[in-house]
A and B are shown apart, each in its own frame.
Chain A
Amino acid sequence: MPGSELVGMPHKGGYRAHFEDDYDAYEDYDYDSGDDYGDELFERDKTLQELGKDKNAVARQEEAFIVWRCPICTYDNEDSLTACEMCGVLRNPLVNPSSRSHSSGDNVSTERERSAPVESKLPAKVADRRSGVTEDDSLVISGKKTFVASNIGRTNSSFSGSGKAKTDVETKSTSANLKKQKAPEKQDKGISNQLNLAVVGHVDSGKSTLSGRLLHLLGRISQKKMHKYAEEAKQHGKGSFAYAWALDESPEERERGITMTVGVAFLKSRKYDVVLLDSPGHRDLVPNMISGATQADAAILVIDGSIGSFEGGMDATRGQTREHAQLIRSFGVDQIIVVVNKMDVVGYSEERYDTIKQKLGTFLRSCGYKDSSVTYIPASAMENQNLIEKPSDAKLSWYEGPSILEAIDSIQLPARDYSKPMLMPICDVIKLESQNQISACGKLENGAIRAGDKVLVLPSKERAKVHSLLRDSHPCNVARAGDNVTILLQGIEENHVTAGGVICHPDFPVKISSCLELKILVFDIPTPILIGSQMEFHIHHAKTAARVSKIVSVLDPKTGKVTKKSPRCLLSKQNAIIEVILDKTVCVEEYSKCRALGRVFLRASGRTIAMGIVTHVTESEW
Chain B
Amino acid sequence: MKIVHRNLMPDGSGSVKMTPEEADDLWLAYNLIAQGDMVSCSTVRKVMREAASGGRDSERVKLQLQIKVEGIEYDKEGSALRIRGKNMLKNEHVTVGAFHTLEIELHRPFVLKKELWDSVALDELNQASDPKASADLAVLLMQEGLAHLFLVGKSVTTTRSRVEASIPRKHGPAVAGYDKALNKFFNNVMQAFLKHIDFSIVRCAVIASPGFTKDQFHGHLLLEAERKQLRPIIENKSRIVLVPTTSGYKHCLREVLEAPNVMNIIKDTKAAKEVQALKNFFSILSKDPSRACYGPKHVDVAHEQLAIDTLLLTDELFRSGDVATRQKYVNLVESVKASKGEAYIMSSMHVSGEQLAQLTGVAAILRFPLPELEDLEM
Known: A532-B359, A568-B374. A249 touches B286 (CB 8 A): no
CA distance A473 to B212 in the complex (A): 30
Inside 8 A of A261's CB, which chain B residues have their CB? Answer: 169-170
Q: Which residues of A contact B246 (CB under 8 A)?
A: 284, 603-606
Known A249-B175, A261-B170, A427-B169; contact A566-B377, beta-carbon cutoff 8 A:
yes
- Determine the chain B residues whose CB is within 8 A of the CB of A498 once the complex forms: 166
Q: Are B179 and A531 in contact (CB under 8 A)?
A: no
What residues of chain A lie closer than 8 Å to B196, measured between beta carbons?
none
B-contact bits for A529-556, CB 8 A (1 contact / 0 none): 0111111100000000101000000000
Taking CB atoms, residues of chain A closer than 8 Å to B289 are 528, 568-569
Across the two chains, which residue of chain B brings its CB closest to A282? B211
Closest to A530 in B: B359
Closest to A544 in B: B249
Contact B285–A528 (Cβ < 8 Å): yes
Q: In the complex, what distance in Å separates the CA atom of A431 from the CA atom of B282?
A: 46
Closest A residue, CB atoms, query B279: A527
Closest A residue, CB atoms, query B166? A498
Whether A27 sits at the interface, judged by CB under 8 Å, is: no
Q: Which residues of B contact A499 (CB under 8 A)?
A: 166, 168
Which residue on chain B has the smallest CB distance to residue A250?
B170
Residue A388 interfacial (CB < 8 Å): no
B169 touches A428 (CB 8 A): yes
B328 to chain A, nearest CB (A): 22
- Which residues 13-35 of B have a CB within 8 angstroms of A? none
> Does chain B have a CB within 8 A of A430?
yes
In the complex, what residues of A have CB within 8 A of residue B177's CB?
430-431
A527 pairs with B247, CB closer than 8 A = no
Q: Are B251 and A534 interface neighbours, CB within 8 A?
A: yes
- Residues B283 and A284 in contact, CB atoms below 8 Å apart: no
Whether B210 is near chain A, meaning CB under 8 Å from some CB there, is: yes
Chain A contact residues, majority secondary structure: mixed
Those of B155-181 within 8 Å (CB) of chain A: 166, 168-175, 177-179
Q: Which of A549-589 contact B (CB under 8 A)?
A: 566, 568-569, 583
Inter-chain contact B251/A545, CB cutoff 8 Å = yes
- A527 contacts B283, C-beta separation under 8 Å: yes
* Alpha-carbon gap, A536 to B245, bound state (A): 13
**Number of A residues, CB within 8 Å of B:** 46
Beta-carbon contact of B169 and A262 below 8 Å:
yes
Given the complex, which residues of A lie within 8 Å of B174, measured CB to CB?
428, 430
Docked-complex contact B286 and A256, CB < 8 angstroms:
no
B127: chain A residues within 8 A (beta carbon): none
Quick check: B359 and A531 within 8 Å, CB to CB? yes
A427-B169, A527-B286, A528-B285 known; A534-B355 Cβ under 8 A? yes
Contact of B285 among A287, A569, A604 (CB under 8 A): A569
The yes or no answer to B91 lying at the interface (CB within 8 A) is: no
Do residues B247 and A252 form an inter-chain contact, with CB atoms below 8 A? no
How far apart sit A565 and B157, CA to CA, in the bound complex (Å)?
36
Which residues of the other chain, B, contact A545 by a CB distance below 8 angstroms? Answer: 247, 249-251
B360 at the A interface (CB under 8 A) = yes
A466 proximity list for chain B (CB < 8 A): none
Bound-state CA distance A536–B210 (Å) is 13
A191 at the interface (CB under 8 A from B): no
Shortest C-beta distance, B173 to chain A (Å), equals 7
A457 CB to closest chain B CB (Å) equals 14
Which residues of the partner chain B approach A263 to less than 8 Å between Cβ atoms?
A: 171
Identify 16 new A-B residue pairs, CB closer than 8 A, beyond the known A428-B174, A534-B250: A250-B178, A250-B179, A253-B170, A256-B212, A285-B211, A441-B169, A473-B172, A528-B289, A532-B360, A535-B251, A545-B249, A566-B378, A568-B374, A568-B378, A603-B247, A606-B210
Closest 4 A/B residue pairs (Cβ): A532-B358, A606-B246, A534-B251, A545-B249
Q: A residues bordering B, Cβ < 8 Å?
A: 249-253, 256, 260-265, 282, 284-285, 287, 427-432, 441, 473, 498-499, 526-528, 530-536, 545, 547, 566, 568-569, 583, 603-606
| Pairs A–B under 8 Å by Cβ, sample size 26 | A250-B178, A261-B170, A264-B172, A284-B210, A284-B246, A427-B169, A428-B168, A428-B169, A429-B166, A430-B177, A431-B177, A432-B173, A498-B166, A532-B355, A532-B357, A532-B360, A534-B355, A536-B247, A536-B249, A547-B358, A566-B378, A569-B285, A583-B249, A603-B246, A603-B247, A606-B210
